[in-house]
Amino acid sequence: MPFDQYVTTFLNLSGIESMQPEPSIAEENRELRQRVSILHHKAERNEQLLKAFFAAELELLSCTTLAELLDYLLNHFRQNFNLSAVTLMLLDPEDMVQELLDGSARFNDFPGLQLIRHPQPLRSLYPDKQLFCGEASAEIRRSCFPLPADVQSCALLPLIREDFLIGSLCLGSSDPERYSHLLRYDYVSHLASVVAVCIENAISRESLQRLSSMDPLTRALNRRAFSQQLLREIKRCNRTGDPMACVLLDIDHFKPVNDTHGHLSGDKILRDVSQLLKDTLRETDSIARYGGEEFAILLPGCGEAEAIQVADNLRETISQTLFSGHQQQSLRITASLGITLCEQQHTQQADVSALTESLIQAADQALYFSKHNGRNQVKFNPCTLAIRAQQ
Ligand SMILES: Nc1nc2c(ncn2[C@@H]2O[C@H](COP(=O)(O)OP(=O)(O)OP(=O)(O)O)[C@@H](O)[C@H]2O)c(=O)[nH]1
């Protein structure tokens, strides 16, 4: 029996008074014993359901990321409480949730999630901001349970924060009796409040983390986050033995771009180059804005030959792309790149901070060679720290 029918059980308690008129003492005793046994059984079941409910609440509160929370609500919750469908509609006017999920999970993992930009669908669903329990009409099935599922009755829970509708959690059951407008569903209402708080907290927490590690113009990692990532990748290289390439990319003659087309166009180019890097590189690679028109890239698992190939592909793609300024004027740019390599031997023979410095210096030196060799090219420069450490 699902936790939300706990309420029904208490309503049934009133049945104890509807006994047959004038039964014999023996019959009355038998009937009473039967009723006590049923009530005892129901009380035990209610206790289990209550425990399941508290466990669900704890699960929700202990989710540390938005993706974890959504996974629990949309996947585990449905199984744990024997529902035929669970969907979640979230108001996301500035695509913040979309962006957070892009970095941490795939939308395919959450087929029941719908992000909406305008509050109107929520206002239509909850004109009085009240929970709805009852039969799943064709209209409810269409708007709240768009994916194929056997939904006969449903609980539609408004998610409200500070008197503002932020979303809707819809629980669907194949049992037509499970949710009825005749019953009160205090636990389900309570659940809606917990879910609303958990979702809001997860979004705020992750947005803050993201803001503190992101360059606001290009949405690449900022320099601080890059340094942390570099340390993580050095540790991974030490652990796994896989090499890691470190690349610096600098847009050529960027000053004339600003001078000719204005700073707004320069900003747009920086954003577009950042997006091009994200689109071209692997998800496991790291991209950071290292300075004004300079990007730093980490390619875990790449040896010298592969890193040169990846960097040259970036160089060529940039040189062949028709960029546009902020007034849609066409622009062409090129970039110079410098590469160095972190190998396991470096991580064993040097302290980490000396190694990070040495890697950046070596990549910077390679970038300098590219610039002074005519720009629009890729140069490799080995990291020499380990050799020095051995001497
Ligand atoms: N629009 C815009 N320009 C920036 C930003 N940060 C740095 N810049 C510009 O980038 C330009 C860098 O110029 P330089 O260092 O002379 O380098 P360059 O013109 O690219 O020449 P080379 O690197 O030698 O090929 C300067 O004009 C900066 O103002 C930014 O956030 N937005």
- C-alpha to C-alpha distances, 103 to 21, 94, 160, 351, nearest whole angstrom: 69, 16, 26, 31
Q: Which residue's alpha carbon is at the smallest distance from atom 16 of ligand 1?
A: 255
Q: Are 90 and 113 in contact (CB under 8 A)?
A: yes
The DSSP line for 87-150 is EEEEE-TTSHHHHHHHHH--GGG-TTEEEESSSHHHHHH-TTS--EEEE--HHHHHHH--SS--
User: Does 115 score more than 60 pLDDT?
Assistant: yes
Tell me which residue of 309, 269, 305, 314 sits closest to 287, measured CA to CA.
314
What is the per-residue pLDDT for 182?
A: 66
Model confidence pLDDT, tens digit, residues 298-332: 999 999 999 999 999 999 999 999 999 999 999 99
The DSSP line for 314-332 is HHHHHHH--EE-TT--EE-
Q: How is the chain split into domains, by residue range?
A: 64-211, 214-390
Q: Which residue's alpha carbon is at the smallest distance from atom 21 of ligand 1?
A: 253
Q: Percent of the chain having pLDDT more than 90?
A: 68
User: Does 166 score more than 50 pLDDT?
Assistant: yes
ipTM: 0.96
CA of 141 from ligand 1 middle (Å) equals 55
Model confidence pLDDT, tens digit, residues 180-218: 876 667 778 888 999 999 999 999 999 898 889 999 999
Q: Which residue's alpha carbon is at the smallest distance from atom 14 of ligand 1?
A: 255
- C-alpha to C-alpha distances, 102 to 98, 119, 249, 299, nearest whole angstrom: 6, 22, 25, 20
Q: Which residue's alpha carbon is at the smallest distance from atom 12 of ligand 1?
A: 255
Name residues contacting ligand 1 (CB within 6 A): 217, 250-255, 258, 263, 266-267, 270, 292-293, 371, 375
Mutation test residue for ligand 1: of 293, 318, 371, the one with most atoms within 8 Å of CB: 293
CA of 193 from ligand 1 middle (Å) equals 50
Kindly state the average pLDDT of the residues 105-127: 87
User: Does 385 score more than 80 pLDDT?
Assistant: no
Q: Taking the model in full, what pTM does it have?
A: 0.69
Kindly state the average pLDDT of the residues 273-291: 96
3-state secondary structure of 387: helix
Query: Rounded to an integer, what is the distance from CA 125 to the centroid of its chain?
Result: 26
What CATH number was assigned to the domain covering residues 64-211?
3.30.450.40
| Atom number of ligand 1 nearest to Cα 336 | 25
Domain 214-390: homologous superfamily in CATH = Reverse transcriptase/Diguanylate cyclase domain (3.30.70.270)
Sorting pLDDT into bands at 50, 70 and 90, what band is 248?
Answer: very high
